[in-house]
Structure formats: C-alpha cells, structure tokens
Amino acid sequence: MPSSDTSRPTPARLTRAARIHGTHKVAVGEFELPDIGPDELLLRVVSSSMCLSTYKAMSLGSEHKRVPDTISSEPVITGHEFAGVLEEVGADLADRFTAGQSVAILPTMGLPSGYSPGYSYPYFGGDATYCIVPAIAVEKGCVLPYDDGYYANGSLAEPMSCIIGAFRSNYHTEPLVWEHHMGLKPGGRLALLGSGGAMGIGALDYALHGPFTPSLVVAVDVDAERLERLRTLFPAEEARRRGCRLEVVDASGLDPVEALRAISPDGYDDVVVFAAITELVEAGDAVLAHDGCLNFFAGPTDKTFSASLNLYNIHYESTHLVGTSGGSRSDMEESLALSASGAINPSRMVTHVGGLEAVPDALSDLPSFTGGKILIYPHVDMDLTAIADFEAHAEQDPRFARLAEICAEQDDIWNQAAEEYVLEAFASEVRT
C-alpha cells in the first residue's frame, strides 16, 4: 500500500515513468512509489532499451495477454529491457543484495500469470527513473548482478538473451536415434533472413563471435542502407579470419530461394527468420538441408499468421520448425559475460539515444522506424537522436560535438564513454 506519510516524499520515493493508460495511450508522468516491502528492491534505472513488443502492448492495451484490465485506473510502466543500481534493499534480502549494486533485469518471469515488467506492473518497468522490483521477480531469479560498469550492456543483455535462446532452441538429430542435439549445428551453414534490423545485427554478432562457429553465414535483407551497415559492422575479411564465410545479400528484386541456393546449393542447416512475412518463412523452409532447422524468430501481431511448409521434407528430410520468445537467466548471463569480455558488442544494435520524454513518440513510431535499437536514459534530458546525427546537432548544442567525437573513436558505435558522458552532460534538471 502507498505510504501514509502526507509530506513530500524523499527523492527516491518519487519516480517519473512512461506508462500505458489504454490502447495507444502512453504518457510520461511523475508519481509517488510506495515503500518497498522486506522482500522487494528499489531500483534506480540507468538505461532501458526499446522493443517492438512494447508497441504491441501499447497498441492492444488490455487485449494483450500480459497487460491487465485495470490500466485505465492503474497504468503500467513500459520497458522490459533495463538495468540500474539498487537504491534500497528489503530487510529479508540483505544477505543477497546490497545498495549500490548494479543489476540487470530478466523480464521472462514465466507462468502461471505470464506477467512481466514493462507490460503488467504499476511500479515495475524500465522506462522510469525509479521502480520497485517485486518479490516474485526476486524469487524467480530475475535480478542479475553484474559489474562491468556499462549499463547499456545490462539493458541489451535482454534482447541478446532472446537471440541466444533462439540459437540454442534449434536442434538436430541422427537417423533412428531419438535424441535432439540442441543448438546450431557446429560448423554448419546458417541463413539469417530479414536480418538488417537490430535483432539481426545481434544475431550476426553472436553467430560470428559466440560458441557455435558456423562455417557459412548468409545475412539477407532488402534494405540497402541496413545491408551496408551490416557490411560495415561485420567485415567479411574479419569473419574469414575466424574460419567463417560471411555473405550479406540484397534480395530486393531477387528470388530469395535462388539467391540462397546459389551460395549453398545443398541448403542450410539452420535458418532464422526475423520478419513475419509469409514469403520469407516459406523461402526459409525451401532452403533447409537434410535435418535442417527453421526458427521462426519474428513475433507476429496477427494471431492467424501462417505459412505453407513442405511436409514431405519434414517426413523424409527430417526438417524441423521451432519458435522462441524471450531468453532464460542462463541466456542473459551468457550475454553479460560475453559483453564484459568483449567477445560480442550488443551496442552495435543501437542507432538512437534519448531521454525519458522521448518514449511515447518513439513507441508510437516504432512500426515505421527504420533504425536499430533505441536506448533510453531515464535520468537524461535529451530528444531522441540518431548517433549518425550527433555532429549535425553540434551547432545548436555543443555537447553533441563531444558526443560525436566519443562515438567516432569507436567507429560510430555507442559505448561506455558515450554513456558516461550523456549521464553527466545531459542529466535532467528534474531530480527524482
């Protein structure tokens, strides 16, 4: 229950947050948090990355399976990819957590409710200056301490965990041996279809620098600008030095099956589809090799979405179909470890950065947004800005000149030094 103290609360008791109030209704506002319970945590959110899944929650409102019916009177905080610092620790958790500890939040809290931060809770979500981590999230192991000092890695560990979980959910078999060998086929051929967006970038990073070591990776998209970004981020020569042939294919105006078969006539051991497009799913199915596995990674908004699959090949060629949503704690821990070591760099996914006030408009525009990941810093006063546009903004605001320099030093990729500068130089005057 809210605190009975009628005086103005201490700063850590006030929060500003973006909340869903109804269908297509998201607004930023300030409100008071209740006192935390003995088995709860008060989190100062430092970074929160944006996901198309949040747009689905906003556009469906209470019709979404994770959004409660009470949002008109008790709105829920958006954002499920977030990290921050523990401000207060409930008395019963003092042996497990400490104030000042950096943590990332795993949103897949599981059954029976399916509820999750960013969809379901009035006080628990990433698009907020402060939020309360409830007992159920602690109980289910959804609070992950980490100490690499870069909060974007904590936020982006969630989308990376979805990619890691997807790759690990693929499986392969042996004739008449009724066991599934989980994960991408070691040394196999991998096709990533519709992979020019943020999740495709993360998947390509993990495919090239993770544990599965495919011998061939083909990334396919139809957006020339996105494809050029893939080539810049992942040079073919670098992949070749790691023993992998990398092909980035512009399939606009081409038959994707013919284009993929031209590169690998015998097909692909693993195919991951990143867009809910019937033709793309069917193309992925058509290029599967014997014992190949198709992963439908895209989350459609159409509950009747379907595609035609070759059942002859499922029977005689042992092809498989899987689909995943979210990642496990171990997937997220793997992302955090790989990021901290420098093996992968989830910040390659980020193209835009902004403060909390940017959330409502950015969410509304997500279906037509052509950039990569949007990274929100709730304690920052900054319009949503593309990294590529930092230099152009320098004439009006000299802080962007320094920000552009910092990113240029890292090949125009978001990084820890840029994060630290933004948190200091763009700190919001609204102190909560």
Q: What is the pLDDT of residue 186?
A: 94
User: Could you report how far apart the first and last alpha carbons of the chain are, in Å?
Assistant: 21
Q: What is the pLDDT of residue 370?
A: 87
Instruction: Tell me how crowded residue 92 is: count the other CB atoms within 10 A of its CB.
Output: 13
Round to whole Å and give the CA distance between 313 and 316: 5
CA triple 348-327-17, angle to 5 deg: 70
SS3 assignment, position 282: helix
Q: What is the pLDDT of residue 272?
A: 98
The contacts of residue 298 (CB under 8 Å, 6+ apart) are: 194, 273, 274, 275, 276, 277
Q: What is the pLDDT of residue 302?
A: 83
Q: What is the pTM of this model?
A: 0.92
Biggest CA–CA distance in the chain, Å, is: 72
Strand 143-145 versus strand 102-105 pairing type = antiparallel
- Tell me the per-residue pLDDT of 90-143, one tens digit each, with 9 for 90 and over: 999 999 999 999 999 999 876 556 789 999 999 999 999 999 999 999 999 999
Q: What is the pLDDT of residue 113?
A: 64
- Tell me the per-residue pLDDT of 350-361, one tens digit each, with 9 for 90 and over: 999 999 999 999
Q: What is the pLDDT of residue 262?
A: 98
Residue ranges of domains in the chain, CATH in brackets: 1-168+326-432 (3.90.180.10), 176-317 (3.40.50.720)
Round to whole Å and give the CA distance between 200 and 193: 8
Q: What is the pLDDT of residue 2?
A: 33
Instruction: Tell me how crowded residue 341 is: count the other CB atoms within 10 A of its CB.
Output: 10
Query: Per the structure block, which two tokens stand in for 140?
Result: 């289910």
SS3 assignment, position 412: coil
Q: What is the pLDDT along the chain (432 residues), one digit of tens a residue?
A: 233 333 334 445 899 999 999 999 999 999 999 999 999 999 999 999 999 889 989 998 888 888 999 999 999 999 999 999 999 999 999 999 999 999 999 998 765 567 899 999 999 999 999 999 999 999 999 999 999 899 999 999 999 999 999 999 999 999 999 999 999 999 999 999 999 999 999 999 999 999 999 999 999 999 999 999 999 999 999 999 999 999 999 999 999 999 999 999 999 999 999 999 999 999 999 999 999 999 999 988 788 999 999 999 999 999 999 998 889 999 999 999 999 999 999 999 999 999 999 999 999 999 889 889 999 999 999 999 999 999 999 999 999 999 999 999 999 999 999 999 999 999 987 544
Q: What is the pLDDT of residue 430?
A: 55
